[in-house]
Amino acid sequence: MSEFIDFDQSVYPFPVKPALLSSDKKAFYRERIKSLLIEKNAVIVAHYYTDSEIQALAEETGGCVADSLEMARFGARHPASTLLVAGVRFMGETAKILSPEKNVLMPTLDAQCSLDIGCPEEEFSRFCDEHPDRTVVVYANTSAAVKARADWVVTSSIAVELIEHLDSLGEKIIWAPDRHLGRYVQKQTGADILCWQGACIVHDEFKTQSLEKMKALYPEAAVLVHPESPQAIVDLADAVGSTSQLIKAAQTLPNPSMIVATDKGIFYKMQQACPEKSLYIAPTAGEGATCRTCAHCPWMAMNGLQAIAEALEGNAEHHQIHVSEQLRKKALLPLNKMLDFAESLK
Ligand code: 13P
Ligand code: SF4
């Protein structure tokens, strides 16, 4: 038996898009960042959803471009004393929790995530207290305080495996915050899940009828879907998975083209993985309509070259991630359990 509880969603303060840079300015900041990385013994840890120029720079300078699980692993293992995390705030916090001895900088501390915003610690903690018989599993897309309240942290790349494991031990589960991923995992495993009702504003925007029309237009294309998308979109998928799993699926499926229902930032690495294939963005409401994201996370879009250079230049106050030692120690336990579990799957 599984239940899905409805909560009011927060109203999101939407970020202003960063100003576009001229090609001269871009070249200037790229060179500036390269020398600052050496000077500060720093490395870029970037998510697939950041702009392609940031992903390219991370690759060129020995950093990583990855999903949220691999970003956490890479940051913890890399010998650099400073991690420049290009992504959203929970990714910076995770890096700091795992590597307290390192400086963790972000291009902006205002890069949020609707899942994190929609799961405030106090409300969530009360919810958990009301169900003391349940194991608390939270998605990585949460604050350090919410992680500290959890028994397990998980990312989408190992969510099904972890819930399968807990279910086999007879555990009943609280899942937070993403309702679509929670439902997907519940369907895959049959586990007893009580689900928080958060949503990702990017994946929530994909449109079923338009996707059906697009499938009819490109019958040879495979549909790739991130499980933060609504059920009706998942139902149309040929492959469902985390960002890295979708890139792998694009490579291994025999189809000559892919319709991709996740943030369009992924196209940079996906196209590298299969240069011969055509990649299409799954339909949203479009830039001019009510869509506020248009297959690109507005907070990921805040990671610009200029902001990276400023973060490395040393204005720590506006760029440095802090997590209190007390909170860090608590949040570290479920995060380490996630990393150990991920390791055991290899
Ligand atoms: P991944 O864990 O697949 O990288 O996803 C993170 C995320 O924010 C998806 O919207
Ligand atoms: Fe959060 Fe969605 Fe942006 Fe990922 S794409 S960081 S889940 S708002």
Q: Domain extents for the chain?
A: 23-111+300-322, 115-199, 208-281
The reported pLDDT for the residue numbered 5 is 45
Spatial neighbors of 138 by CB under 8 A, at least 6 apart, are 119, 146, 147, 149, 150, 152, 153, 154, 175, 176, 177, 334
95, 71 contact by CB (below 8 A)? yes
- Read off the DSSP letter of residue 320: B
- At a CB cut-off of 8 Å and minimum separation 6, what does 227 contact? 156, 159, 180, 181, 184, 185, 234, 240, 241, 242
Ligand 1 pocket check: which of 64, 68, 260 to mutate, most ligand atoms within 8 Å of Cβ? 68
Q: In this model, does residue 38 exceed pLDDT 80?
A: yes
Contact between residue 193 and residue 175 where contact means Cβ atoms under 8 Å apart: yes
What per-residue confidence (pLDDT) applies to 318? 85
CA dist 21 to 75, 229, 302, 307, Å?
29, 32, 13, 12
Indicate whether 94 pLDDT > 70. yes
Mean pLDDT within 90-110:
96
Relative to the alpha carbon of 155, which ligand is closest?
A: 1
Q: What is the mean pLDDT of residues 299-312?
A: 94
Mean pLDDT confidence for 328-334: 98
Q: Determine which residue's CA is closest to atom 8 belonging to ligand 2.
A: 113
Could you please state the CATH topology (level 3) that the domain comprising 115-199 is classified under.
Rossmann fold (3.40.50)
Ligand with an atom nearest the CA of residue 201: 2
- The pLDDT, as a whole number, for residue 9 is 44
The Cα–Cα gap between 277 and 221 comes to 10
Give residue 318 CA to ligand 2 midpoint distance, Å: 22
Q: Tens digits of per-residue pLDDT, 263-279?
A: 999 999 999 999 999 99
Q: What's the chain's average pLDDT?
A: 93
Closest CA to 260 of 282, 289, 293, 230: 282
CA–CA dist 48, 326 (Å, integer): 31
Residue 198 carries which DSSP code?
A: B
Across 94-220, the runs of DSSP E, i.e. the strands, are 103-105, 135-139, 152-154, 173-176, 193-195
Given a contact cutoff of 8 angstroms between Cβ atoms, the answer to whether 142 and 335 are in contact is no
Q: Which phi and psi angles does 154 have, rounded to 5°?
A: -150, 155
pLDDT digits (tens, 9 = 90+) for 66-80: 999 899 999 999 999
What pLDDT is stored for residue 17 in this prediction?
Answer: 73
Cis before 177 (ω within 30): yes
Distances (CA, A) of 264 to 110, 203, 293: 21, 11, 11
Bridge-based pairing state of the strands 257-261 and 239-240:
unpaired
Ligand 2 centroid to Cα of residue 327, in Å, is: 23
Same fold flag, 23-111+300-322 and 208-281: yes
pLDDT single digits (tens) 8-28 = 444 566 777 778 899 999 999
Compute, in angstroms, the gap from residue 330 CA to the centroid of ligand 1: 23
Give ligand 1 pocket residues (Cβ under 6 A).
67-68, 141, 155-157, 200, 228, 242-243
23-111+300-322 carries CATH number 3.40.50.10800: yes
115 lines ligand 2 (CB under 6 A): yes
Binding-site entries for iminosuccinate: 47, 68, 139-141, 156, 226-228, 243
Answer yes or no: are the C-beta atoms of 257 and 280 closer than 8 Å: yes
**In the structure, what pLDDT confidence band is assigned to residue 250 with cuts at 50, 70 and 90?**
very high
Alpha carbon of 50 to those of 90, 243, 275: distances in Å?
A: 15, 12, 20
The amino acid sitting at 33 is I
Architecture of the CATH domain 208-281: 3-Layer(aba) Sandwich (3.40)
Q: Please calculate the CA angle 120-18-145 and round it to the nearest 5 degrees.
A: 20
Q: Are 153 and 335 in contact (CB under 8 A)?
A: yes
For residues 339 and 331, is the Cβ–Cβ distance under 8 A? no
pLDDT digits (tens, 9 = 90+) for 123-176: 999 999 999 999 999 999 999 999 999 999 999 999 999 999 999 999 999 999
